[in-house]
Amino acid sequence: MKKLFIALLTLLPMAAFAAGNAVHLDEANYDLRDKASLQNGAKIFMNYCSTCHSTQYQRYSRVADDLGIDRDVMSENLVFTGVKVGSLMLTAMPAESGAKWFGATPPDLTLEARLRGADWVYTYLRSFYIDETRPFGVNNLVFPSVGMPHVLEELQGTARLLEIKHNEEELDLPEGARIVKETAVVDANGVATGEILTSYLSPDGNGELSAEEFDEAMLDLVNFLVYSAEPNQLERQEMGFWVIGFLLILLVFTWFLNREYWRDIH
């Protein structure tokens, strides 16, 4: 029984890996100390996400203070529900309507970056592509059959999911394209032909932002969501620094004290 349990435990991560489709997650190199990035992330969140999603464990005022945004500026420009700046960041959309309109209630995003991981959220936001079979005409690579529409179309434009078969060296992708999967091509006998099948997302370039600018904007948004999931993170790291410093100084004194105690005995 115990052996079975251990075997199951070792296999679990593999199963989880196999279950998630093999789409590569891009690394989100966010920087929590970058206030400008956090501010831009908050701005994008309030403008493009807060109509459907809340970050209900956060207050506007706390976000304003942490991110160095003036409370009045926050109140006038980023609070769209008409509530006081000290209020929790709820969405104006009733949960039942969300379920009715999108097939799923848009979840609260306060802890999303911890739940899914920053890389997942970063890749998700950049992985909407045209799929006419879906109610809103889009699908998502890391969240197949997602209920959320492509709300950032204005910024990014729309992307197509395309495939190309090629040899190792020669791969010519259109500008702004992002490789999402590469598989070795095998023939009917399962022998590798040396060719590679590359799937990529190709944006139509109709958005306000270029591919790089859009990635940058999404990084800011992820930065904000990572901050949201743990607003104390920066303080905690700083505190850790002081605590270790204190312990090191204490170590020096303890060492001297120890020497003092043993002096007459040796």
Chain residues that interact with ligand HEC, rule: CB under 6 A: 48-49, 51-53, 98, 102, 104, 106-107, 109, 112, 116, 121, 124-125, 146-149, 151-152, 221
Q: How far, in Å, are 50, 239, 246 from residue 34 at the CA level?
A: 22, 19, 27
When the beta carbons of 74 and 138 are compared against ligand HEC, the nearer one is 138
Calpha distance 104→149 (Å, rounded):
12
When the beta carbons of 48 and 61 are compared against ligand HEC, the nearer one is 48
Say if residue 166 carries a ligand binding annotation.
no
When the beta carbons of 24 and 166 are compared against ligand HEC, the nearer one is 24
When the beta carbons of 137 and 149 are compared against ligand HEC, the nearer one is 149
Q: In what order do the strands lie in the sheet with 192-203?
A: 159-167, 192-203, 178-186
Residue number of the CB atom closest to ligand HEC: 49
Calpha distance 159→222 (Å, rounded):
20
- To ligand HEC, the closest distance from the beta carbon of 149 in angstroms equals 5
When the beta carbons of 154 and 238 are compared against ligand HEC, the nearer one is 154
Query: Which residues 6+ apart lie within 8 Å of 126 measured at CB?
Result: 26, 156, 178, 201, 214, 215, 218
- To ligand HEC, the closest distance from the beta carbon of 188 in angstroms equals 38
Say if residue 266 carries a ligand binding annotation.
no
Cα torsion angle, 30, 118, 150, 137, sign: positive
Calpha distance 97→108 (Å, rounded):
15
Query: Which residues 6+ apart lie within 8 Å of 253 measured at CB?
Result: none
- To ligand HEC, the closest distance from the beta carbon of 38 in angstroms equals 14
When the beta carbons of 49 and 198 are compared against ligand HEC, the nearer one is 49
The encoded tokens of residue 69 equal 């945004």
- To ligand HEC, the closest distance from the beta carbon of 109 in angstroms equals 6
- To ligand HEC, the closest distance from the beta carbon of 105 in angstroms equals 7
- To ligand HEC, the closest distance from the beta carbon of 225 in angstroms equals 7
DSSP 168: S
Rounded to an integer, what is the distance from CA 100 to the centroid of its chain?
26
Which residues fall in the annotated binding site for heme c? 49, 52-53
Which residues fall in the annotated binding site? 49, 52-53
